[in-house]
């Protein structure tokens, strides 16, 4: 189980990374500097349709793409969904990400640290395209993204069950 201290420690590490690499927010800029802080904090949440676009862009079958680049992620009272893996989650690709890895360091698997760019920029999920660290209020559509996963059979995408942690309390397993 995680505590507020796990979250605070992780946020502190990401903020240090952002300051070291020049995050737009701290520099007073209104355009992305490619610092990677958002890609380190949490990869973009795609819709099911965006997963297909990414697979097509990579010239892969969706099942192979999911088993190589995505994990199953679950938040209480939301449907389980696919999420691009972080580099520290490679042991979980195609499966439910282990909760113990949630606050591990690492970037989205599609972030190119050397060039400070997204390797799938032309098909990057809407969440990643529209997120601006200097204006976080614009992400009101994120609930629509989570809802797009309601009723979706993740096995059809190549993901392997279980999709919700076995030890999750029953009342949290119901979709919000």
Per-residue pLDDT for the chain (176 aa), expressed as one digit of tens each? 444 444 556 566 666 666 666 676 777 777 777 777 778 777 788 999 999 999 999 999 999 999 999 999 888 888 899 999 988 888 889 988 876 676 667 789 999 988 888 999 999 999 888 877 777 666 677 788 889 999 999 999 999 988 887 766 666 555 44
CB-based contact 98:15 (threshold 8 Å): no
- How many C-beta atoms lie closer than 10 Å to residue 92's C-beta? 17
Coil, helix or strand at residue 34: coil
* Full-model pTM: 0.81
Query: Any bridge partners for residue 126, and if so which?
Result: none
Cα diameter, the chain: 45
* Residue boundaries of the structural domains of the chain: 4-163
Angstrom distance (rounded) from CA 144 to CA 154 = 18
Coil, helix or strand at residue 25: helix
Contacts of 107 (CB under 8 A, 6+ apart): 36, 39, 40, 86, 87, 113
Which helix (H) or strand (E) segment holds residue 168: the answer is: none
Angstrom distance (rounded) from CA 133 to CA 58 = 27
Angstrom distance (rounded) from CA 82 to CA 51 = 8
Nearest in space to 110 (alpha carbons), one of 96, 91, 125:
125
Contacts of 114 (CB under 8 A, 6+ apart): none
């Amino acid at each position: 189980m995680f505590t507020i201290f796990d979250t605070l420690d992780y946020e502190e590490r990401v903020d240090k990374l952002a300051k070291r690499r020049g995050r737009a927010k701290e520099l007073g800029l209104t355009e992305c500097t490619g610092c990677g802080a958002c890609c380190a904090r949490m990869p973009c949440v795609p819709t099911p349709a965006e997963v297909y676009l990414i697979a097509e862009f990579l010239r892969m079958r969706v099942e192979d793409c999911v088993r190589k680049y995505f994990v199953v992620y679950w938040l209480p009272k939301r449907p389980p969904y696919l999420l691009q893996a972080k580099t520290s989650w490679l042991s979980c690709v195609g499966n439910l990400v282990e909760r113990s890895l949630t606050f591990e360091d690492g970037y989205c698997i599609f972030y190119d640290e050397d060039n400070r760019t997204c390797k799938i920029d032309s098909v990057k999920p809407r969440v990643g395209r529209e997120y601006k660290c200097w204006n976080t209020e614009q992400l009101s559509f994120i609930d629509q993204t989570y809802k797009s996963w309601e009723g979706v059979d993740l096995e059809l995408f190549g993901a392997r069950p279980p999709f919700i942690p076995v030890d999750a309390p029953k009342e949290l397993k119901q979709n919000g």
